[in-house]
């Protein structure tokens, strides 16, 4: 998938392991920028790389799909995961997680392309219902522009990375 100079690729477990440092850069940048994505500031590179190594293991077992957006020079600038490993009574569902775009690469279509690719990957895996949550108003606008339906808001759900409570907004989308 391509838009402007952004290309989306699905990574294998080995490719995910090889890209841990670059993916850690994206995660650290997003947390430094205030993204509420399960980590507090300051996020160390070691902790960020350990997170991506655990994601690579999930890719290896088939429990998740890892998609990466790369710029024209092939540098990873964004990522999203499709979580397939859900309870046995939910074989039709997947979760979208850690939709991250480096602040230097925003407003170039990477987020939109990542979400489109995530939907396609979920559909190819036989999933018909997607769910995600976000604390970001910018991300919420992106999801709403792509026809995600807001299910509700939970006040004080998590902490912002710098501290202080933040709400989270739940969204879902049925895939044709």
Which tokens hold the place of 147?
């026809």
Q: Is 63 helix (H, G, I), strand (E, B) or coil?
A: coil
Q: How many domains does the chain have?
A: 1
pLDDT digits (tens, 9 = 90+) for 119-168: 999 999 999 999 999 999 999 999 999 999 999 999 999 999 999 999 99
Whichever domain contains 135, its CATH number is 3.40.630.30
The model's pTM is 0.95
pLDDT digit string, tens, across residues 48-73: 999 999 999 999 999 999 999 999 99
Side-chain-side CA neighbours of 54 within 13 Å: the count stands at 6
* 61 token code pair: 């077992």
Asked if 133 contacts 99 with a C-beta cutoff of 8 angstroms, the reply is no
Residue with tokens 């979920």: 122
Q: What is the residue range of 50's domain?
A: 2-174
Classify each residue of 13-30 as buried b or exposed e, where b means 16 or more C-beta atoms within 10 Å of its C-beta. Answer: beebbebbebbbbbbbbb
Contact (Cβ atoms closer than 8 angstroms) between residue 104 and residue 70:
no
């Amino acid at each position: 998938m391509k838009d402007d100079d952004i290309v989306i690729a699905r990574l294998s477990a080995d490719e995910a392991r090889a890209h841990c440092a670059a993916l850690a850069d994206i995660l650290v940048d997003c947390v430094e920028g205030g993204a509420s994505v399960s980590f507090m500031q300051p996020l160390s590179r070691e902790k960020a790389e350990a997170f991506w190594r655990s994601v690579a293991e999930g890719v290896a077992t088939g429990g998740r799909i890892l998609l990466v957006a790369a710029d024209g020079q092939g540098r990873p600038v964004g990522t999203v995961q499709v979580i397939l490993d859900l309870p046995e009574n939910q074989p039709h569902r997947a979760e979208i997680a850690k939709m991250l775009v480096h602040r230097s690469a925003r407003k170039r279509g990477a987020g939109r392309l990542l979400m489109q690719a995530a939907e396609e990957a979920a559909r190819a895996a036989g999933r018909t219902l997607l769910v995600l949550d976000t604390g970001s108003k910018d991300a919420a606008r992106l999801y709403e522009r792509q026809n995600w339906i807001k299910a509700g808001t939970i006040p004080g759900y998590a902490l912002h990375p710098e501290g202080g409570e933040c709400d989270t907004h739940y969204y879902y989308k049925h895939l044709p």
